[in-house]
A and B are shown apart, each in its own frame.
Chain A
Amino acid sequence: MNAINETWFAIGSLDDIPRRGARCVRNGNMTIAVFRSADDRVFALEDRCPHRNGPLSQGIVHDGCVTCPLHNWVISLETGMAQGADEGSTAVFPIKVEAGRVLISLRPAVEKAA
Chain B
Amino acid sequence: MTEKLVVIGAGMASGRMLEHLFEANPGAFEVTLFGAEPRGNYNRIMLSPVLAGEKTFDEIVTHDAEWYAANHVTCRFGETVTRIDRKQKIVSSAQGDLAYDKLVIATGSAPFIIPVAGKDLPGVMAFRDLDDVNAMVEAAGKPNAKAVVIGGGLLGLEAAAALRGRGMDVVVLHLMGHLMERQLDPAAGYLLRKELEGRGIKVHTKAQTKAVLGDSRAEAVLLEDGTVYPADIVVMAVGIRPETRIATDAGLYVERGIVVNDQMVSSDPDILAVGECVEHDNICYGLVAPLYDMARVAAKTLLKQDAAFRPVETATQLKVTGVNLYSAGDFAEAEDREEIVLRDASAGVYKRLVLKENRILGAVLYGETGDGGWFFDMLRKGTDVSRMRDTLIFGQAYQGGAPLDPMAAVAALPDDAEICGCNGVCKGTIVSAITGKGLTSLDDVRAHTKASNSCGTCTGLVEQLMTLTLGDTYNPAAVTPMCGCSDLGHDDVRRLIKAKKLKTIPAVMQELEWKTSCGCAKCRPALNYYLVADWPDEYADDYQSRFINERVHANIQKDGTYSVVPRMWGGVTSSAELRAIADVVDKFSIPTVKVTGGQRIDMLGIRKEDLPAVWADLGKAGFVSGHAYAKGLRTVKTCVGSDWCRFGTQDSTGLGIRIEKFMWGSWTPAKVKMAVSGCPRNCAEATCKDVGVICVDSGFEIHFAGAAGLDIKGTEKLGLVKTEDEALEVIVALVQMYREQARYLERIYKWAKRIGYDEVRRQILDDAGKRKAYFERFVFSQKFAQVDPWSERVSGKDKHEFKPMAQIGFKEAAE
Contact = CB atoms under 8 A, between A and B. Distances in A.
Interface stretch (B168-176, B201-209, B517-525): B517-525
B276 to A, nearest CB: 29
A85 interface: yes
Given A29-B811, A52-B558, A24 B521 contact: no
A98 interface: no
Given A52-B58, A62-B519, A62-B521, A69 B806 contact: no
Contact of B556 (A16, A38, A70): A70
A12 B805 contact: yes
B560 A21 contact: no
A110 interface: no
A25 interface: yes
A31 B806 CA distance: 10
B525 A87 contact: no
A113 interface: yes
A87 B518 contact: no
A106 interface: yes
B525 A24 contact: no
B718 to A, nearest CB: 35
Interface in A64-100: 65, 67, 69-70, 72, 74, 85, 87-88
Contact of A28 (B518, B552, B800, B814): B814
A29 B814 contact: yes
Given A62-B516, A114-B69, A70 B558 contact: yes
Contacts of B805: 11-12, 16-17, 23-25, 34
Contact of B560 (A29, A58, A65): A58
A23 B608 CA distance: 13
Interface stretch (B539-547, B643-651, B667-675, B734-742): B539-547
Nearest to B812: A28
In this complex, the interface size class of chain A, counting residues with CB under 8 Å from chain B, is 35 or more
Interface in B785-815: 800, 804-815
Contacts of A29: 811, 814
Contacts of A17: 805
Contacts of A52: 58, 558
Most buried by B among A9, A24, A31, A106: A24
A54 B560 contact: yes
Contacts of B518: 20, 38, 62-63
A74 B521 CA distance: 9
B544 A19 contact: yes
Interface in A2-37: 9, 11-12, 16-21, 23-31, 34
Contacts of A12: 805-806
B341 interface: no
A59 B809 contact: no
B231 to A, nearest CB: 37
B70 interface: yes
Interface in B392-408: none
B517 A113 contact: no
Contacts of A59: 521, 548
B547 A9 contact: no
Nearest to A86: B66
A45 interface: no
B316 to A, nearest CB: 30
B67 interface: yes
Contacts of B800: 16, 18, 23
Interface in B14-64: 58
7 contacts: A16-B800, A27-B808, A60-B524, A62-B519, A62-B520, A65-B520, A85-B443
The 6 closest A-B pairs by CB, nearest first: A28-B814, A67-B521, A23-B805, A11-B806, A20-B544, A58-B548
